[in-house]
Structures are given as structure tokens and as C-alpha cells.
Structure 1
Amino acid sequence: MNAQQTLSINGHDVSFQSGQTILEVARQHHIDIPTLCHLKGTTPTGACRICVVEVEGARTLLASCATPAASGMKVQTESPAVIEARRLIIQLLLSSGNHNCAVRGSDDQEWTAFQLKVQGEDGSDELCPVWGDCRLQDLAYRYQVSGERFAATPTRYPMETVNPFIVRDFSRCIQCGRCVQACNDVQVNNAISFGYRGPESKIIAAGDRPLKDSDCVFCGECVQACPVGALVEKDVRYTVRPWETEKVRTTCSYCGVGCQLYLHVNDNQVVKVTGADVAPNHGSLCVKGRFGYHFVSSPERLTDPLIKENGTFRKASWDEALDLVAGRLTQIRDAHGGDSIGVLTSARITNEENYIAQKFARAVLKTNNVDHCARL
């Protein structure tokens, strides 16, 4: 067993296990240290430096996500030096792109000019598409920072809107690397990475191609990991805000894994899906689980049994439809044998219902021709 040791955080002695970082120890004891680039379950990079803390005896501020905890350490998470460093980092990030979240500048004329520029590039007269759901914005308000201290960085790359599910807005990318880690370390798709150098740096797919022409499988893990508005689901961009939706926990219906997810519901319509950070999927989803929700409210979805007569369908009651199906299946089985019938079941029903379906096929219809759509 790892020996338990202690260190001091903000004057409080806390215990930790060997191998933990300062950030892990702080979170274990409900002490908040803000982060931007840190992604649970991946190797910390310390890229954003938002999580810096002051450690007695250290020459500089240390990134808590990448600094191992040591016995006897004395850590300050909100000292004047730490706050000043975080404020400077946030100011630099706000000036690095089209972060038009009402914290960009305080001068009315500067703000108006900046907003008009962003509107032209965005094709929308609204604030940032993740306004109210942005980690950078949260930190800017928390540390009372605006973005006019440094000159704004020009937009170097156009927005990528050709992908079926994801909009990539490079002007809002802070290059924290969370999307790269989500793709390569969590989902292990290895579809994106850092490309180019210096001010030309950007997140690219192989050959700097659009995601639709790359190895991307559109699982959306990068979108869920993005702390700003650089990666946004195409269908909800500028159409719905987080506070306008209700989160409903449910189980994905596409296969038997049982992934847990949240349906974001607005006006009785599912507008977005995110993964729940619990077993078995721990927040991750596949392309079907994250983006294949439109069938729920599709106008083409059947709401009544239909019986085809003279080439057209008519509505029928469940009793009438079931009686007709039972009679026809009995006729076919008696005339041609059970092997003339096949049963195809669905992943969108429970394991118990699938069991009943195969039991019905074998015991009643006398056929072993049973298949399942999750195999396809």
C-alpha cells in the first residue's frame, strides 16, 4: 500500500497518496484550483498555466496539474502572485481570438468594432455560441478580467463548416490541447494533432484536411472536451443556449453497452446529447450515441399501427394489427415450415425484450433464423 503523507494547502494540512499531483490532492479535499487544459484520465501537460500555485521554496509558480505532491509542501492556491499570473494568462487568451463574450473589452467603441468584426466572420449577430457555457468566460468573470489590455490577434484560419456534425472555429481556439488528448488518449482515434509552429500553430487532421476527409469518426469527444467555442455541435450552434435546456439522464438505445448520457431538452425536443461521466462509458460516446438523436422527434416516426390494403396504408388498432400478424405468421409456418420465417430484433429495446423475441421465434414460430441490428 502507498504510504499516506501530508502537505499544507492554504494553511490546512491534508493527506495524500504517493504519486498524486497537487491538483489531484486539492480536488480530493474539495479545494478548487481552476484549470483549462487539464483533462481527466490523460497525462497532464501544464500548457495553459491557469492551475499555477505558489509553493514555499520554489523559484517560480508551479503548474499544479503536473507537479507531484511532496510531504511537507506548503501550497497557496490564491496568493496575490497566483492571482496576478492567472489574470495575465486570461487577458492573453481573451486577446487571442474572437472571444466576444462581453468580457473582451470595456471601451464601447472598441467593443462595437470588435463585435462587428466577429459578426462578419461568424455570420451571426449573437454573442459567442457557447456564451454562458465557456470555461474561459467563467474564469474571466471570476478574476474580473477583460481583454483589451493586449492587441487582438488577427484571424489566421477560416471557420470549417463542411463537416456533418461539428463546426471548427479556429478563431476561438486557445490551443489548450484538450481535444487532441480526448481524441488520442481517451478515444484512441488519433485523428487530430498539433500542426505548424509559432503563431501559425493550429489543431489539424492528417494533411490539414477537413474532419470529413480525415480519420475522424465523429464521436464528438473533442467537442465535449473543448472548454471554449472552438468546437461546437453544428445543429445547436446559435440555436439554443444551455440555460434554455433541461438535462435528462438516460441510457443510449443503440447497442447493448448501456452508455449513460444526458439528453438536453428544449420545448420537449432533444437538441443535444452529452455523455454522463459514469460507468460504463465515463462520458465518452460514439457518433450514433452523440449525434443520432433526431429520430426521437422525427415527423416520419410511426405513432400508430398501419395495415396495407390495396397498395395504401390505413391506421389500425393494436388488437387488429396483432391479430393480423399472428394469423399470417401461423399460416406461413403451417404451410412452409418455421425456416421460412426470420426474426430481426432491435438494439433499441432491452435485453429482456430481445430475449422474449428470440424465445417467441424458437418456441412459437419454430425457427432459429434470429438476427440483431447491433451486429450490422
Structure 2
Amino acid sequence: MARLKSGDRPTVKDVAAIAGVSATTVSRVLAGNYPVATSTRSRVMRAVRELDYVVNAQARALVGGGPGTVAFIVRDLVGPLFAHIGQGVEQQATAEGRLCLVCTHHGDPERELEIIELMRQQQTEAVVLVGGGMQTESYLQRMTSIAHSLDKAGSRLVLCGRPPLGDDVPATVVEYDNEGGAYAVTSYLISLGHREIAFIGTSEPVHTTTTARLGGFTRAHETHGVKIIPERLLPGSFDRDSGYLQTKALLAKRIRFTAIVAVTDMVASGALAALREAGVRVPQDVSVVGYDDIPLAADLTPSLTTVHIPHEDLGRIAIKLALHRDQHGLEQRMMLGTHIVIRDSTGPAKSRK
């Protein structure tokens, strides 16, 4: 039987020749979407292994996208929350027999839209956006247009951890109760007697994550009849440096506060460091809460009270719904719950002077 020359890439016809079947039969075996006799399947897979055909096929898919490829688009690769949601995406994509491409936009909405368009051109089966998005009219209009373009191309826009674009927009949406989690953890602080609560992370008012968490913070104050002082609402991004610098600024301005709600756990870690440097005890003098419940939260000193997000479930469910959207009765929108994880960084309020 003829063998490939050194350096030649195996083709379906090469696999078929070694297995003694037609090229169509090989395609059916590899796709797994058509009944094939067990003995025939065994011969084909033996030929695939002999020729190392699958490895080459995957390499070509990575270069050219196409059916069987899922794109996972995230802000960055270092954020723990993104990494854990991404793990759920990758695990489910692998279980579904798909390759997973990872792309980053570093918080640039224009870059995010460019990547989505590129994935549409590459005929990627699903384009998964992880984390919050912008709420400007122009951004939402372009995202809606892209969702329809993906749908026409046989692909699917998947929003993982952000709200839907609208009832008539063809997209799979798996979000979590972002606003409800912030409401719950702020209400918990109020139940401990805190009335002077700072919020760190308000610099992106049109960002869905910030808007929802600040909204829950605000609603908790309104529900319990506690007044919000604008000076306690501080700008910031989602990282540790933001929490550290804004907490130092809060202390320097001598603004009264007995608790801090940080927009993320990473922001909370920076706040804890700044308070420790200033000799402020947590939780004896000031309570601190975060949001996300990343693994780091339990290892901080003191361990961080936070809001738990079902990280990996978000990714897994998003992929499962998107890839099986034609299944009868399968809902394409889902809201997952959040809950408070109480640790050592919170305690009864103590008035600060």
C-alpha cells in the first residue's frame, strides 16, 4: 500500500485508501453525525492515527476557523474571573467536539467589535463574549447588527455575564444576578449597623457590570432608608491598583466611612492593603466586601466577604445552549443566581472619626 512522502499532509482520500473505504465514509466517521458500522469506524480511526490526520485537521481549523470552532472573547487573560469562566467555556466546547479560540480586547470596545467581525468572516460556530459590555447607543446598535450578521452566517452571538441586547436580537444570553448580588451584600453591611459605606469602582457608568453593581448598592440604601453621600462614591477600574489608590485617597480626604464595597475582589484586595498600611484594622475599624469570589478571596488577610458568581457554570451553560439552540424548547436566555460568602473581613459597625 502506498505511503505518503515525507512532509506531505494527509487528506481524507489518504485515510480512505488505508482504511479501504470511501472518502465520504471517512468524513461521516470524523463528523460523528451518521451511523457507521463499528468495524468500519475502527478501520477509519486506525488509519487516522497512523497518518496523524486529526492533528493536521485541527491545525487547519485553528488557522481558518469554520464549523466546529468556538471563539472565546475576553477582556484579558490575567483576570481570575475571566479565567474561570473561560475554563467552563473551554471544557464544554471540548466535550462538544469543538476547538476553542481565545481572543482578548483589553477593554477596548472597538477592538472587541473588530474581533467579532473577524470571527464572523471565519465562519466560527459561536462567538462568546465574556464579562460586561458598554451601554452606549452606538455600541449597542453595532452589536445588534453583528448579532444578526452572525445569525445569517449560521453562527451565534453568545453573551456570557452580560444582559441581552433586546427581545428580537438573535443571541444566546447566560447572565447572573449582578445587581441582586450587590444589593444583598450591601444590605448585609447595613444589617451590621453600617451607615457610612464607600463604593469603589464608578468610573465606567456605561459599563453593564459597574452599572448593575452600583445599582444594587444604591437600591439597598434606598430600601433601608440610608442616605448615600457622593463623596463616598469613588472612581476606579477592576484591578488591585484601583482599590489601593482610591482607598488611600479616601483616607487622605478624611471622609467618614465604616465599610467599603469594592466593585471586584481584586479592587477589594487593594483596599485591604491600603487600610493595613494606614493601621486601620479590618473588620474592627472598617469592613470590606468584594464581588466575584475568585479563589484569592479566601486567602486574603483577613479572608474576604464577597458575592459568589457561578464562574464555570456560566461558561458551560452558554456553550451548551448555543450549540444546541435548535433543540425544541431549549431556552436561549438564562439568569443564574449569586449569593454572599461571609468571611472574616466584615463585622459590626464602629464609628470612625
TM-score, structure 1 normalization: 0.21
Question: Which has a greater percent of strand?
Answer: 1
Bigger radius of gyration: 1
